[in-house]
A and B are shown apart, each in its own frame.
Chain A
Amino acid sequence: MMEENEMSFFDKLEKVDPRLIYILVFLIVSLPLMRPLGLPISMSPMTVAFYDAVEKVNPGDVVVVSIDYSAASSPEQYPQTKAVIHHLATKGAKIIGLGFWADGTPFIDSALKDVFGKSKDHPKYGTDFVNLGWIPSQEVGMKALGGDVQGTCPKDYYGTSTATIPMMKDVKTGKDFKMVITLSSGTPGVPEWIRQIQAQYGVTFLYGVTAVGAPGMRVYFPAQAAGGLEGLAGAAEYEVLLIKYGYKGTLAPPMDSQSLSHLLVIAFIVLGNVGYVLRKHGKAK
């Protein structure tokens, strides 16, 4: 009798209105944002490797930061973008911002404004950083970029001729890149950059990806990619490492939300399977 009641309890639980689950998800995600738990952020070896690689950048080194994500992935990857550009600026790198995703290129301008205060109107625009905007045709565009940077990007994002931009004077081909960092959520992304630029020109290559893509990108570490930022957690870890450069991170409360939401998913999986196992046993008897 007791078992039959347990069975029907789990049956009822399985048929619960999905909207109750959605409300629970809303609450679990929102509450830590309003009242952070303050859980310490642990380091991933991939993030440490990424940080160490950028630490080796010398003043004047040309570093390409490619924004290869859309607005859909911006909650994970825009924090990566800001942190990366801040770190590179601290190292004195010459930053070339560009992208192969049409949706992503306005984020280059936003990130430059967030890090430097201004983009095109900044006094160091053109000497310390430049925004070359979108390059079409995905992998074909990457190949073209490697062969002729100025020919592939004749004007920057704001319409200025690339030939007149001071820091682009000595940047002719992929050989002139010291490092390439792609922040990518799909295709074109990491494999395409590795095929067309890293393998061809031996450039130091780093990536930042959404968490979905992270497991698949591990195969490129460490021979082809020197490090990687994996999702929002990667961005949060990177922010912690940049504290010494005065970077003010904002990802501690979201990571608390991440923790609770993971616990929620695990709880639901366990609950669902407990019911399944009990029902299976009940039927077997």
Chain B
Amino acid sequence: MITPEIAGTLIAAAFTLMVYSFFYRENKAYRFAEHVFIGLAVAHGAVISSKYVWDAALTPLITKGEMYWILPIIVGLLFTFFFSKKYFWVYRIPISIVVGTGVGLAMAGLVRSQFIDQIVQTIAPLDPKADFWSSGSHPVNALLIAIGTLGTLFFFIFTREQKGPLLYASHIGRWTMMIAFGAAFGFTVMARMSLLIGRMQFLIDPSGVAWYMIPVAILVVAAVAFMDRAKGSKP
């Protein structure tokens, strides 16, 4: 008896394997799955935006008579002038409001959190009892962090010729960044593998039904590979 839950899992597994079929070669099943995903993604954005406009603007407008909510609705509708050749300039009004607000917000906030606070942390009080292996407050670590941070900043000075002390500082920065980027690469590998592990967990879960689709997929790929060979075409 196929319940909606079982059907849903089989659909999810089928589309998962359709996407993975790309690894054999580019094929119609993969393209189909990709297009379905794009359609759903845009639709979901529209649904959730509609809910927000309904809750935040239309509901108080209709039920409480708060007429000022007409203003953001009208401004938002001006986005549709993106498609007009003659009145395209009207589209610039909402975009300039959104961009101006966002840029002002980012600038105001990051002066403190990503500039001043970062400098303050580099010269923060030391703690000799802090754990050497994990704490930036340990005196040795704090010194190394300060040197590395300055070196990194000096690396990006391109308005003067890098020679003498500036060159040495820049080299320190380069080596510091190489270690940092190596760590970043290691974490990136970890992240990508985690995504695959999640999908594999779903596909081969013995308590679920997704794994029923795996032999089907293998048979389909084997049949396609056999047909490719028979045609003599390279996949």
Interface centre among A19, A135, A194, A195 (most CB of B within 10 A): A195
Do residues A199 and B109 form an inter-chain contact, with CB atoms below 8 A? yes
Per-residue B-contact encoding for A130-146, CB less than 8 Å = 1, 0 else: 00011111111001000
Per-residue A-contact encoding for B190-209, CB less than 8 Å = 1, 0 else: 11011111111100101000
Other-chain residue from B44, B51, B183 in contact with A103 (beta carbon distance below 8 A): B44
CA distance A195 to B206 in the complex (A): 45
Other-chain residue from A105, A196, A254 in contact with B194 (beta carbon distance below 8 A): A254
Question: Closest CB of chain B to A239's CB: distance in Å?
Answer: 14
B228 in the interface (beta carbon within 8 A): no
**Which A residues form the contact surface with B (CB < 8 A)?**
19, 22, 25-26, 29-30, 33-34, 45, 72-76, 102-103, 105, 133-140, 143, 152-155, 159, 191-192, 194-196, 198-199, 210-212, 214-216, 219, 223-224, 230-233, 253-254, 257-258, 261-262, 265
Residues of chain A contacted by B120 (CB below 8 angstroms): 223
B223 in the interface (beta carbon within 8 A): no
Other-chain residue from A75, A133, A159 in contact with B199 (beta carbon distance below 8 A): A75
| 18 A-B contacts (beta carbon < 8 Å) | A34-B206, A74-B198, A75-B201, A102-B49, A134-B51, A137-B102, A140-B105, A153-B55, A154-B56, A154-B59, A159-B55, A199-B113, A211-B194, A219-B121, A223-B117, A233-B190, A261-B197, A265-B189
Residues of chain A contacted by B101 (CB below 8 angstroms): 140
Residues of chain A contacted by B184 (CB below 8 angstroms): 212, 215-216
Interface residues in B131-150 (C-beta closer than 8 Å to A): 131, 134-135
Do residues A30 and B204 form an inter-chain contact, with CB atoms below 8 A? yes
CB-nearest residue of chain A relative to B120?
Answer: A223
Do residues A29 and B118 form an inter-chain contact, with CB atoms below 8 A? no
CA distance A76 to B190 in the complex (A): 10
B230 in the interface (beta carbon within 8 A): no
Do residues B187 and A199 form an inter-chain contact, with CB atoms below 8 A? no
Interface centre among B59, B113, B121, B189 (most CB of A within 10 A): B113
Task: Please classify how large the interface on chain B is, using the bins under 10, 10 to 19, 20 to 34, 35 or more.
Answer: 35 or more
Do residues B193 and A261 form an inter-chain contact, with CB atoms below 8 A? yes
CA distance A154 to B196 in the complex (A): 38
Do residues B191 and A210 form an inter-chain contact, with CB atoms below 8 A? yes
CA distance A267 to B195 in the complex (A): 20
Per-residue A-contact encoding for B54-72, CB less than 8 Å = 1, 0 else: 0110011000000000000
If over half of A's interface residues share one DSSP class (helix, strand or loop), that class is named, otherwise mixed; here it is helix
Given A76-B191, A137-B102, A155-B55, 7 further pairs, Cβ under 8 A: A29-B193, A140-B102, A196-B109, A199-B113, A210-B191, A211-B191, A224-B117
Residues of chain A contacted by B187 (CB below 8 angstroms): 211-212, 214-215, 230-231
Do residues A75 and B48 form an inter-chain contact, with CB atoms below 8 A? no
Question: Closest CB of chain B to A153's CB: distance in Å?
Answer: 8
Do residues A223 and B102 form an inter-chain contact, with CB atoms below 8 A? no
B24 in the interface (beta carbon within 8 A): yes
Residues of chain B contacted by A76 (CB below 8 angstroms): 191, 194-195, 198
Do residues A102 and B114 form an inter-chain contact, with CB atoms below 8 A? no
Other-chain residue from A137, A139, A214, A254 in contact with B197 (beta carbon distance below 8 A): A254
Do residues A232 and B194 form an inter-chain contact, with CB atoms below 8 A? yes
Do residues B52 and A134 form an inter-chain contact, with CB atoms below 8 A? yes
Other-chain residue from B55, B59, B190, B200 in contact with A262 (beta carbon distance below 8 A): B190
B27 in the interface (beta carbon within 8 A): no
Question: Closest CB of chain B to A17's CB: distance in Å?
Answer: 10
Interface centre among A22, A135, A212 (most CB of B within 10 A): A212
Residues of chain A contacted by B180 (CB below 8 angstroms): 215
CA distance A258 to B105 in the complex (A): 39
CA distance A211 to B234 in the complex (A): 38
Interface centre among B131, B184, B193 (most CB of A within 10 A): B193
Residues of chain A contacted by B197 (CB below 8 angstroms): 29, 33, 75, 232, 254, 257-258, 261
Do residues A19 and B24 form an inter-chain contact, with CB atoms below 8 A? yes
Q: Known interface pairs A29-B197, A75-B199. Does A212 touch B183 (Cβ–Cβ under 8 Å)? A: no
Do residues B48 and A258 form an inter-chain contact, with CB atoms below 8 A? no
CB-nearest residue of chain B relative to A28?
Answer: B193
Nearest 9 pairs between A and B by C-beta? A75-B198, A195-B109, A211-B191, A45-B134, A232-B194, A155-B55, A211-B190, A212-B191, A261-B193
Q: Known interface pairs A138-B102, A196-B109, A212-B187. Does A191 touch B49 (Cβ–Cβ under 8 Å)? A: no
CA distance A261 to B24 in the complex (A): 21
CA distance A230 to B186 in the complex (A): 12
Question: Closest CB of chain A to B97's CB: distance in Å?
Answer: 10
Do residues A33 and B201 form an inter-chain contact, with CB atoms below 8 A? yes
Other-chain residue from A191, A215, A253 in contact with B110 (beta carbon distance below 8 A): A191
CB-nearest residue of chain A relative to B205?
Answer: A33
Do residues A195 and B190 form an inter-chain contact, with CB atoms below 8 A? no
Do residues A139 and B198 form an inter-chain contact, with CB atoms below 8 A? no
